[in-house]
Structure 1
Amino acid sequence: MANPTPADIQQYIAAGLPCSHLEVEGDGQHFFATIVSAEFEGKNRIGRHQRVYQALGDRMRAEIHALSMKTLTPAEWAEQAPKA
């Protein structure tokens, strides 16, 4: 089986988790994702990561070697946006 691409990982996450912003970078083995979702409201970092793992399902064990994440609510994302 070929290694997944960042676009594949992005598609997998988007299919299982509504996101207002989603970026994935990586080299086929190691990935970094910035994920913004209203579903993260009221969840701590562990709860947010568990929600992403739920969206990825068995792919985390079978296809994805390593995934680092930055998980934010829409309000947190807006706070860190550059001010014009």
Structure 2
Amino acid sequence: MPMDAHEIERMIKDALPDAVIEIKDLAGDGNHYAATVTSSAFKGKSRVQQHQLVYGALKGNMGGVLHALALTTVASDQ
């Protein structure tokens, strides 16, 4: 069963409460998403570390329930 965009957003918000999240369903199939996540938690971290924070928030669902996520992260000054 595909993962709903609202569930993806909720999981990221649980881990990164100040995050501003924009999610797009790229194929309309609930399996291929693009997400832009902006958070102060990313400040001072490499792009890889920022992505690891987001993937950690998804609790192992990447590659399983969540098939594909094109991820863009942005550090905010909050």
Q: TM-score band, normalised by the shorter chain? A: 0.7 to 0.9
Structure of larger gyration radius: 1
**Given the alignment, which residue of 45, 48, 53 partners 1:46?**
48
For structure 2, the 5+ residue unaligned runs are none
By percentage of residues, which structure has more strand?
Answer: 2
**TM-score normalized by structure 1?**
0.77
| Identity percentage of aligned residues | 34
Aligned to 1:22: 21
Count of residues in Structure 1 that have an aligned counterpart in Structure 2: 74
1:19·1:35 contact (CA, 8 Å) conserved in 2?
Answer: no
User: Partner amino acid for 1:62?
Assistant: G
Which sections of structure 1, spanning at least 5 residues, go unmatched?
A: 76-84
Whichever residue aligns with residue 73 of structure 1, its letter is A
Structure 2 counterpart SS, 1:67: strand
Q: CA RMSD in A?
A: 1.4
In 1, the alpha carbon distance for the partners of 2:51 and 2:12 equals: 12
Give 1 or 2: higher helix fraction: 1
Which residue of the other structure, out of 54, 57, 60, is the alignment partner of 1:58? 60
Tell me which amino acid in the other structure corresponds to 1:21.
Answer: V
> What SS does the aligned partner of 1:62 have?
coil
Whole-angstrom CA distance in 2 between matches of 1:61 and 1:42: 28
Q: Which structure 1 residue ranges, 4+ long, deviate > 4 Å from structure 2?
A: none
